[in-house]
Amino acid sequence: MKIVSKAYVLIAILIAAAVFNLFLLYQEDNSDTSQSYSIIGAGDVKVKAESISSLATSVANGVLEDKEKLEKEITEVQLTLSTIRNGGEFKGHKLEIIPTSLITDYNEVLSSWESYKSKALIVEKTSVFDMEATNAMNYVLQKNQELVLVTDKLSKDLDKLDRDYNPHKLIAKELAECAKIIGQQSLLISIGEGENAQEILKEKNLQFEIGLRKLMQLSTSDLDVEKVGMTHEELIPIPRENSEALRDLDPLWEAIKVKIETLQERALLSPEFNLAKNEMAVEKNILFEKIDMLLNSWNEELSSQGSEGQIIIQILLGVDIGVFFLVLFIIRQSLSPLDTISKAISKVKEGVYGEKIEYSGSDEVGQLVANFNMMSNTIKEKEEEAKKTDIAKDEFLAMITHELKTPLVPIQGYADILLNEHLGKLTDKQKERISIIKSSSEALLSIISDLLDVQKLDLGQLRMTKQKSDIKNTITKAIETLQPEADPKNIKITYNAESLIINHDPERIGQVITNLIKNSIIAIEPNPGKIDVTLQDHPNEIEIFVKDNGVGIPEEKQKDLFKKFYQVDASLTREKGGSGLGLAICKGIIDNHLGKIRVQSIPNQGATFSFTIPKEEAVNTKTPLKSA
């Protein structure tokens, strides 16, 4: 059967199971819906009761517009309880009559509701505030500003006296401060804030009384002066001309003190209101308990009635699980080869061809497997043919470059003999022409040498002679070789390297450093040119940097720098020479040393090439080069 046909069948099975389940669940839900809404209504009574408590307190506080809301809430609770008992409409839904087994619990809820309702109505009609404490509070707040002004005037009157009256001045300032605090604490009590306001008020009342008596030469022996950190003392009389404010303060304080003592002893809220409110809270908690008992009994009733429904649901669940596993098994069996194909394709991406996938089916997956096996075998055959062709081409090219290199040696030799006039004197024009022959042969020899090296790298035939030697000597020798080429262009080459013995091929590593410096010389403008060669010693490897201040390399071209024949700027290379093989050879040499070579550059800000050499050579997993 085709996979598409299998999919249609499986989808049909799942749809049929889903429709059957929905039908049964719908029937089950219809039987429980009315009772569920009855339970919701009983729970709604708790919400309404909480609202009634807040509204009753609000009305008692004088918010008369909440009285109508309170009556409405009470009416709605009455209607809800009646509907739960006798059935009917509740918020657009039909409720059934409460089961007979729950009548006792319902009657307890109804009785508790009546008690709670009566307590809420008592709270509504009870005055919130104690009138005597309220009058005292209003009087203190009204007279406090006058008290503050008189104490301030007293302080100013005493400031005119000499140093003998310094204790009087200090007490006067304390009285002024106490007057302000008394006003602040009274205001906090009036708005229901200030947790310790009454205690503070009591303390400042005592402190004010002690200070006033001292100024008036009255005894303080009957007062607890130590409680407020004061002492008994007798002061000299204040001159009459400076005691006018003191005479005004005495009767004013006597009137305010009486009211403050009332505030110290009595709360603003009336005891009757607190008692009624507490009784309402107790009845509310009892009502909530009765409602919770009714809801628990109702849930147990539903659980017992729904046992058959639970059995049906369990059967449906078992059927659903069976159908699910059946569908899962069929899908897994049909699509399991796709995972094998995916893994085989991943291997093809890594260059592994020719692996055969076993699959006996004749569906679309089977056709895909057969096509993949055929494609993999074809790619493998083509890959093997291409490898043989590449090897033959590389061997031929290596032979040709070697043969091209051979006649260049005598050309250079005879050019040197002629230039040194071993065969006779030459004119300046003849020397110029022979110099061109020599430089051209040297350029050609350099290109052929690069071609020969890169072909040997590809064939694994580049000779390496690794030995324990000082890397500093290798760097120094490479720089000294190129110094004559840099000096005429006023390019400064600096290096910072410490002596370090590591296993490497000095000639090949020197070739890498030379190639990198040559590239920097080409990229640098004359006169301000600078090339820095530095060595960094890491725990497991060394890293050599060649940094210049040349034209830099665009970011999009950096990824191809180490490919054969790649040139960043072909016109510049043709003008200044180069085969595009130097960096490819550098990479091959560094790879053979199990290191890494990389570049960092920003256009017009120079370039930095770096490569690493491990201090201890590990097992080389790359294709080995022939080493001496």
CA–CA separation, 237 vs 165, rounded Å? Answer: 9
Quick check: 574 pLDDT over 50? no
What average pLDDT does this structure show over 268-277? 70
Structural tokens at position 179: 């007057």
pLDDT, tens digit (0-9, with 9 covering 90-100), for 297-326: 888 877 776 655 566 666 767 777 877 677
369-383 pLDDT, tens digit per residue, is 777 778 877 877 777
Ranked by mean pLDDT, the top range of 195-199, 426-430, 462-466, 614-618 is 426-430
What pLDDT does 542 receive? 93
Tell me which range, 24-38, 261-275, 600-614, is most confidently predicted by mean pLDDT: 600-614
CA distance 370 to 364: 10
What local confidence, expressed as pLDDT, does residue 433 receive?
A: 86
Distances (CA, A) of 349 to 85, 145, 368, 369, 372: 77, 93, 18, 17, 13
133-161 residue pLDDT tens: 777 788 888 888 998 999 999 899 899 89
Length of the chain: 628
Side-chain-side CA neighbours of 447 within 13 Å: the count stands at 15
- The one-character DSSP state at 428 is H
Q: pTM for the full model?
A: 0.37
Statement: residue 570 has pLDDT above 50: no
> What's the pLDDT score for residue 89?
78
Q: In this predicted structure, what is the pLDDT of residue 426?
A: 84
Which phi and psi (to 5°) does residue 602 adopt?
A: -125, 130
- What value does the mean pLDDT take over residues 116-134? 76
Segment 49-72 shows an average pLDDT of 84
- The more confidently predicted of residues 354 and 519 is 519
Strand partners, 94: 89
In percent, the amount of the chain with pLDDT more than 70 equals 76
- What would the mean pLDDT of 30-46 be, rounded to a whole number? 72
Q: What is the pLDDT of residue 625?
A: 45
Determine the pLDDT at residue 571: 47
| pLDDT tens digits, one per residue of 521-561 | 888 877 678 999 999 999 999 999 999 988 888 888 888 78
Average pLDDT in the chain: 79
Model confidence pLDDT, tens digit, residues 444-499: 776 777 676 766 666 666 777 889 999 999 999 999 988 888 888 888 899 888 89
Tens of pLDDT, residues 197-254: 778 888 888 889 899 988 988 888 888 889 888 888 888 989 988 888 888 988 999 8
Please state the rounded mean pLDDT for residues 14-23.
Answer: 68
Confidence category of residue 191, pLDDT binned at 50, 70, 90: low
pLDDT of residue 262: 76
pLDDT value, residue 127 = 64
Chain centroid offset of residue 247 CA:
72
Max avg pLDDT among 255-259, 355-359, 406-410: 255-259
In angstroms, the CA 43 to CA 40 distance is: 5
Whether residue 512 contacts residue 590, with contact meaning beta carbons closer than 8 Å, is answered with yes
Residue 548: predicted pLDDT:
92
For 255, other C-beta atoms within 10 Å of its C-beta total: 12
The DSSP annotation for 321-377 comes to HHHHHHHHHHHHHHHHHHHHHHHHHHHHHTT---PPPP----SHHHHHHHHHHHHHH
Average pLDDT over residues 113-133: 79
Judged against a pLDDT cut of 80, whether residue 34 lies above it is answered with no
The band of 513, judged by pLDDT with boundaries at 50, 70 and 90, is very high
